[in-house]
Amino acid sequence: MVLKINGKEHQVTADPQMPLLWVLRDLLNMTGTKYGCGVAACGACTVHVDGQPTRSCLYPVSSAEGKEIVTIEGIAGEDLSAVQKAWIDHQVPQCGYCQSGMILAVEALLHENPEPTDEDIDQKITNICRCGTYQRARAAIKTAAKYRMESLETTTDQADQS
Amino acid sequence: MKRRGFIITGGIVGGGLLVGVGGLTYMNKRIVKYSGLGMGEGESLNAFVRIAADNTVTLAISKTEMGQGVYTALPMLIAEELEVEMDQIRVVHPQPEGPYANLFMAEEKPRAIDGKLTMMQKVFAFIPNIITGGSTSVRDAYDHLRVVGAMAREMLLAAAAKRWGVSTAQCYADTGFVINRDNQEKFSYGELASEAAQQKAPKNPPLKDRSEFRLVGKAINRLDVPEKVNGSAIFGLDVRPDNLKYGVIKHPSQVGGTITSVDNKSEIEGMPGIAGVVQIEEGVVVVGETTWHARQAADRLKVQEDNPVPVDAIKTLTASLSGEPSKIWEDQGNITTVLDESEQIIEASYEVPYLAHACMEPLNCTVLVDGERAECWTGNQSSTFILNGVSEGAGIAKDNIICHTTYLGGGFGRRGETDFVLKAAKVAKEFPGVPIQLVYTREEDMRNDFYRPAVVANLKAGLGKGEVNGWKKKVATQGALAGLLGRNVPMMPMKNEDDPSSTEGLRNLPYKMTAAYTDLTTMDLPMRVGTWRSVGHSQNAFFAESFMDECAHAINRDPYELRREMLADAPRFRAVLDKLAEISNWSQPLAEGQFRGMALHESFGSIVGEVAEISLHGKNIKLERVYCVIDCGRTVNPGIIETQMQSGIVYGLTAALYGAVHVKEGKIVQNNFPNYQMVKMNTMPEIITHIMEVDEYPGGVGEPGTPPIAPALTNAIFAGSGTRIRSLPLSRHGYKFV
Ligand code: FES
Ligand code: FES
């Protein structure tokens, strides 16, 4: 089957039941997406499927066919995304293992809700971080929201001027 | 794959070490030789510093990065004296060789600044004791790595001075260049490296005064963050050597059991994508084309097992407390008389359950066995132990093994063990030439841990008018450290009763009392126990600091005032406590329905005080905020210290709220996050951290944040409801967290 990942097409031969996580990690060697629990409980394996945050450990690869898959490797082309920038500004990662999944979950949250409240964050970011990076992650989410707003404004400004 | 060749340099481990007679000469040589393997291009100025022509500085950092920030903090110490910028630096983890040994662990003290080693430190270098644990990284490195940087700098200065034909005093080092004071001519370190490498390492290079530090003491950015936000950081599970196959292990289903045979081996081997089934002493491993194939097949294994009769640990431990103790650990003053003569006696029994580490990255190790050689990739807390594991499992001589240490997706003490390495090596031996990545699925990881031991304690206090006269403390447990050492350093076995970790943080407390007594009763139980972030302190702070709160309430004293008074002879503790009271506004009443509790505890050379503020409605708790004050002496990177406080608090909080591993009919019940819950964003309190300015040798920061949080929280619950919590976790008492 053909999978569209980060804008590129990949030919894979896999059991249709094989979870997307293992296709990414073990067949395509895209190891940025992590295995934490295998039962959709930790969020380490979060990717986007057609823009939706998806825990890939329980998501059969056959369901991903024909959809746009985005992983941490493709979240921001050459440059860094607003979320990644904020993550660096706030020095969020510790061991780093949960961070790909956390960042993907946050990207999706901000896409849907550009100015999330603390309650929104509590509700939507249910990833487990065993290192306890939550406090800095929360601060970084707010900074990322600000960066996104600003870049939106600049884009609109430029559009106005032209 | 290359065999490790060795370079021998004197100087760094200890000046003048290369003299001696007989066995001592051999020892002295061995502790200074290193291979430099994996350090890439360039010239080694010593075992730690290699400089390439393009001015890249590669540093061998022998402590592993598991989130605690050592790949930033330790390079800062070298860079400070070497006079290079952080962005010039590349960090690699060296092979397990003498110069990289953790010598702090030898005698709980840093090596002398002139490099002279004590006999015990030489033994630790000889082993070599490469360990990341016990919150020792900065304590081992604070002086040593600055000396390492300064020695390399002096060699670069000497090389430049020689080129210019001037004295070294005419030159100075700045951001990767040596500059001639007279004419401002300069050479880059890259240009000088090979000549510098020929210079003699100076014995006592000058070190900067603290006031001149440009890096140390500043919250500069971590070197590992960029690759941890774009998915490129490589953990053990991410290594992909050519022809890799994946192994999934099934362990015996019961504690202490063994798998005796596999009923359906040929059926499993016939499944698509399966390369083989290997039975080893510790279980059965299915090897397949992907982790998923191996996992699917492992789930279908039918095995015969031999299982022991289950034991109820808490019951057994509790019963043992009424017998004779195994060892008396503290006996100051006359506790019997003090208790007899006290106006009031209070007594309380406490208990805590087994806990799993649950590192975010499930345990794994990749091994390639190829003829007489082997290669191993894994995130670990001890490459010494790793080397032993590969050597034993694969039957390969240690000099023919290369260890690649990756980032760790959490360690917390779990990755100081070698079980996962030994098993991977045994399996890889059956697949010569094929690298095998063995993984414990989350379920196998959680059910095959070396758990924080279950512990019971009985505490008795003799109280006078407004004062505490004495404490009698009795503890029963297995030995966490004895377990780890017994498995990994069999030539230095430790009896359970001699395990200092069982009573650490309970005996020799800073509080002044007329008498203090601690004894320990140990038991051999079937559960395998080991070191879990903050080890004995993880439970002993809960016992001691809850009981201090009990004493304060029994004599109608404010818990802060009573502690303060009892710390008259412990100024650093008192300063932390006072700061904590100040930043938490201890004397000001809280809003309606809100309550607070405090705890103070020393561990790993640092003192941490915490105040937990909660809202309490019946059994619904909302964690509002935690105030945290730490005295860890001189700081290297306050930003990392702050995050380690947050991290330690979340780890301890998770245990206090939910943490318990139960055994039912010999089987471990908890097997994944749904039944071994974690604190998440929605239960996370705000944490306000204050770092004290104290001009003393540094203490640890990775673990000391953990111990005080449980008692601070349960003391807050008492303040709010009069309910004293004497066993954890809170969820077992019906509390819910909102
Ligand atoms: S690995 Fe998918 S949610 Fe944990
Ligand atoms: S950073 Fe380690 S698990 Fe989140």
Closest CA to A85 of A95, A98, A75, A96: A75
> Are A134 and B643 in contact (CB < 8 Å)?
no
Only one residue has tokens 């390639």, namely B368
In angstroms, the CA B730 to CA B657 distance is: 5
In terms of domains, do B254 and B201 share one?
no
Cβ(A93) to ligand 2 under 6 A? yes
β pairing state of B303-306 and B258-262: antiparallel
Determine contact, residues A59/A49, Cβ cutoff 8 Å.
yes
Task: Compute φ and ψ for B606, nearest 5 degrees.
Answer: -130, 150
Chain B nearest-CA residue for A84 = B229
Angle between helices B638-657 and B537-554 (to 10 degrees): 70
Question: How many structural domains are present in chain B?
Answer: 3
Q: Is A6 a pocket residue for ligand 2 (Cβ < 6 Å)?
A: no
Give the whole-angstrom CA distance, residue B158 versus residue B195. 9
Query: How far is residue B620 from each of residues B467, B593, B594, B595, B658, measured CA to CA in Å?
Result: 34, 11, 12, 13, 14
- Separation between Cα atoms, residue B706 and residue B701, nearest integer Å: 10
Nearest CA in chain B to A122: B682
**Strand runs (DSSP E) across B243-393, as ranges?**
245-250, 258-262, 274-280, 283-288, 303-306, 327-332, 344-352, 364-370, 373-378
User: A33 touching B, CB under 8 A?
Assistant: yes
Residue pair B352/B455 in contact by the 8 Å Cβ criterion: yes
Residue B604, phi-psi category: left (phi > 0), alpha (psi -120 to 50), beta (remainder): left
Pocket of ligand 1 (CB under 6 A): A 35-38, 40-45, 55, 57
Contact B234, B406 (CB under 8 A): yes
Q: Whose CA is nearest to atom 4 of ligand 2?
A: A129
Do the domain assignments include residue B647?
Answer: yes
**Could you tell me if residue B61 is inside a domain?**
yes
% of chain B at pLDDT higher than 90: 93
C-beta separation of B594 from B624 below 8 A: yes
For chain A, the average pLDDT equals 95
Residue pair B77/B149 in contact (Cβ under 8 Å)? The answer is yes
Final residue in a domain of this structure, among B439, B461, B492: B439
* ω into B128 cis (within 30 of 0): yes
Question: Residue B362 and residue B272: Cα distance in Å, rounded?
Answer: 25
Res. B28: pLDDT tops 90: no
Tens digit of pLDDT for each residue in B696-731? Answer: 999 999 999 999 999 999 999 999 999 999 999 999
Check pLDDT > 90 for residue B282. Answer: yes
Question: With 80 as the cut, is the pLDDT of residue B597 above it?
Answer: yes
CB-CB under 8 Å, B679 with A131 = no
- C-alpha B445/C-alpha B431 separation (Å) is 24
Cα(B362)–Cα(B359) distance, integer angstroms = 6
Picking from B88, B58, B78, B83, the residue whose alpha carbon sits closest to that of residue B160 is: B83
Residues B394 and B295 in one domain: yes
| Tens of pLDDT, residues B479-496 | 999 999 999 988 888 999
pLDDT score of B345 more than 80: yes
Domain boundary among B439, B470, B494: B439
Encode pLDDT of B602-655 as tens digits: 999 999 999 999 999 999 999 999 999 999 999 999 999 999 999 999 999 999
pLDDT in tens, A125-162: 999 999 999 999 999 999 999 999 998 777 666 655 54
Ligand index nearest the alpha carbon of residue A97:
2
Q: Does B624 touch chain A (CB under 8 A)?
A: no
The answer to whether B1 touches B373, Cβ cutoff 8 Å, is yes
pLDDT, tens digit (0-9, with 9 covering 90-100), for B233-275: 999 999 999 999 999 999 999 999 999 999 999 999 999 999 9
Please tell me whether residues B145 and B282 are part of one structural domain. Answer: no
Checking if the pLDDT of B18 tops 70, the result is no
Amino acid at B359: C
**Are B203 and B263 part of one and the same domain?**
no
Residues in chain B: 738
- Distance from the A26 Cα atom to the nearest Cα atom in chain B, whole angstroms: 6
pLDDT in tens, B437-475: 999 999 999 999 999 999 999 999 999 999 999 999 999
Compute the C-alpha angle B646/A72/A41, nearest 5°.
Answer: 60
Helix H or strand E segment including B599? strand B594-603
Q: What is the CATH number of the domain that holds B252?
A: 3.30.365.10
| Pair B145, B275 in one domain | no
**Dist. CA B23–CA B708, nearest whole Å:** 47
The whole-angstrom separation of Cα B692 and Cα B572 is 10
Confidence band of B6 (pLDDT split at 50, 70, 90): confident
Residues of B in contact with A37 (CB under 8 A): 442, 672-673
CA distance A91 to A84: 10
Complex ipTM, two decimals? 0.96
Q: Specify the pTM.
A: 0.96
Residue B505 has pLDDT above 50, yes or no: yes
- The reported pLDDT for the residue numbered B17 is 43
B275 and B408 part of one domain: yes
Confirm or reject contact between A31 and chain B (CB < 8 A). Answer: yes
A131 CA: nearest ligand 2 atom = 2
Size of interface A-B (CB pairs under 8 A): 176
In a domain, B444, yes or no: no
Q: What whole-number distance in Å separates Cα of residue B580 and Cα of residue B215?
A: 28
B557 and B526, same domain (yes or no)? yes
pLDDT of res. B20:
47
Q: Say if residue B60 is in the same domain as residue B156.
A: yes
Angstrom distance (rounded) from CA B394 to CA B280: 12
Residue in A87, A94, A122 closest to B682 by CB: A122
What's the rounded Cα separation, in Å, for the pair A107 and B284? 41
Domain-embedded: residue B445:
no
Q: How far apart are CA A14 and CA A11, in angstroms?
A: 10
pLDDT tens digits for range B211-228: 999 999 999 999 999 999
**A66 CA: distance to closest CA in chain B (Å):** 22
pLDDT of residue A153: 76
Q: Are residues B44 and B92 in the same domain?
A: yes
Q: Which residue shows structure tokens 């991410």? A: B238
Residue B561: is its pLDDT beyond 60? Answer: yes
- As a whole number, mean pLDDT of residues B421-425 equals 98
With a pLDDT cut of 70, the percent of chain B lying above it is: 97
| Domains identified in chain A and CATH numbers | 2-74 (3.10.20.30), 82-161 (1.10.150.120)
Tell which of B414, B439, B464 closes a domain: B439
In a domain, B414, yes or no: yes
B291 touching A (Cβ < 8 Å): yes
Write the CB contacts of A69 (distance below 8 Å, at least 6 apart in sequence).
Answer: A3, A4, A5, A6, A20, A47, A48, A49
Nearest chain A CA: its distance from B651 CA (Å): 7
Question: Which residues of chain B have a CB within 8 Å of the CB of A122?
Answer: 681-682
- State which residue of chain A sits closest to B649, comparing Cα positions: A132
Share of chain A above pLDDT 90, in %: 90
Question: Does the residue B313 lie in any domain?
Answer: no
Torsion of CA B411, B223, A94, B64, to 10 degrees: 10
* CB-CB neighbors (< 8 A) of A92 in chain B: 225, 229
Residue B678 lies in a domain: yes
**What is the model's pLDDT at position B25?**
82
> What is chain A's alpha carbon radius of gyration, rounded to the nearest angstrom?
16
- Domain hosting B672: range is 321-355+451-737
Q: Which residues of A touch B359 (CB under 8 A)?
A: 95, 97, 130
Assigned domain for B314 exists: no
Shortest CA distance to B477 belongs to which of B522, B529, B517?
Answer: B522
* B464 shares its domain with B597: yes
The pLDDT value recorded for residue B456 is 97
> Based on the domain organization, do B390 and B499 belong to the same domain?
no
DSSP string, B222-261: PTTHHHHHTT-PPBGGG---TT-EEEEEE--SSTT-EEEE
Residue A33 in contact with ligand 2 by CB distance below 6 A:
no
Q: What are the backbone angles phi and psi of residue B597, rounded to the nearest 5°?
A: -140, 155
Predicted confidence (pLDDT) at residue B388 exceeds the cutoff of 80: yes
Indicate yes or no: CB of B67 within 8 angstroms of CB of A94. yes
Residues B421/B378, Cβ–Cβ less than 8 Å = yes
Residues B456 and B321: their CA atoms lie apart, in Å, by: 8
Q: State pLDDT tens for residues B111-131.
A: 999 989 999 999 999 999 999
Find all residues with CB under 8 Å of B521, minimum gap 6, and list them.
B317, B320, B321, B323, B324, B325, B326, B474, B475, B476
Nearest to B651 among A37, A76, A132 (CB): A132
For ligand 1, atom 3: residue with the closest CA: A40
The pair of three-digit structure tokens given for residue B517, joined into one six-digit string:
């007594």
pLDDT band for B19, please (50, 70, 90 cuts).
very low
B230 Cα to the center of ligand 2, angstroms? 14
At residue A162, the pLDDT reads 47
- Tell whether B266 and B124 lie within a shared domain: no
Those residues whose C-beta lies under 8 Å from the C-beta of residue B195, and which sit 6 or more positions away, are: B159, B162, B163
Tokens (6 digits) for B579: 């700061």
Residue B601: both structure tokens together? 């505890």
